[in-house]
Amino acid sequence: RYRGFTRLNHWVTAACMIVLLMTGFSFFHPSLFWMTGLFGGGQMARWLHPIVGLVLVASFLLLFVQMWKLNLPRREDVEWSLKIGDLLKGNEEALPELGKYNAGQKVVFWGMSGLILVLVATGIMIWQEYFPHLVSIPARRIALAVHSLAAVGTILIFIAHVYAAIWTRGTIRAMTRGTVTGGWAFRHHRKWLRELAGRQDADPSK
């Protein structure tokens, strides 16, 4: 399901996200400042946060280039969304056949794409060490508020992404081993499986 490069790219992005969430939380409220100790203190955490943010943007951009076409909306996504109740009940036979990603995964992808764009834009606006005169103080305050709200949205999507991966049994191995079972593919992404089978029929050497 995923090449080694894509899996490494995914885990680098995830690691950056975790570091950013922890360093960001440490400055969000005084009661959380103790978390800066995990990174060598307040000064180190404050330096690390924007640097890792830039690494995240570069890493996610690589993922975006690889996956954006596969995450474009399709007609079956609407039907899948309307039958979300059947999914929660485990009645997946009532759902339409899907390509590589379902509507929920596409929402995570595009939601994260938009929020990361907002985070990097507002992050540069509030990065006083290198851009002290980029915007006015009132604009910087607004940017800080927007940055914080976007971070909360990112956290919620991150939690939903992890929960869905754990809840859908057999999914995590796609990003650890790179493969999924034929049964998993047939149950959750049948159209994608048919596409793979079609490629095999067209070129038996693959």
Measured between alpha carbons, how far is 7 from 1 in angstroms, rounded to an integer? Answer: 10
Q: What digits encode the pLDDT tens for the residues 32-91?
A: 999 999 999 999 999 999 999 999 999 999 999 999 999 999 999 999 898 888 777 777
Instruction: Provide CB contacts within 8 A for 85, sequence distance 6+.
Output: none
Q: What digits encode the pLDDT tens for the residues 153-173?
A: 999 999 999 998 998 888 999
Please say if the pLDDT value at position 200 is more than 80.
no
Task: Report yes or no: 118 and 146 within 8 Å, Cβ to Cβ.
Answer: yes
Instruction: Provide CB contacts within 8 A for 183, sequence distance 6+.
Output: none
Q: Tell me, what's the pLDDT at 5?
A: 95
Place of tokens 């995830």: 14
Task: Report yes or no: 154 and 119 within 8 Å, Cβ to Cβ.
Answer: yes
Averaged pLDDT score across all residues of the chain = 91
3-state secondary structure of 169: coil
Q: Tell me, what's the pLDDT at 203?
A: 61
Confidence of residue 206 (pLDDT cuts 50, 70, 90): low
Measured between alpha carbons, how far is 173 from 182 in angstroms, rounded to an integer? Answer: 13
Fill in the DSSP letter of residue 34.
G
Catalytic residues: 161
Percent over 70 (pLDDT), the chain: 97
- Count other C-beta atoms under 10 Å from residue 175's C-beta: 16
User: How large is the angle between the packed helices 75-82 and 103-125, nearest 10 degrees?
Assistant: 100
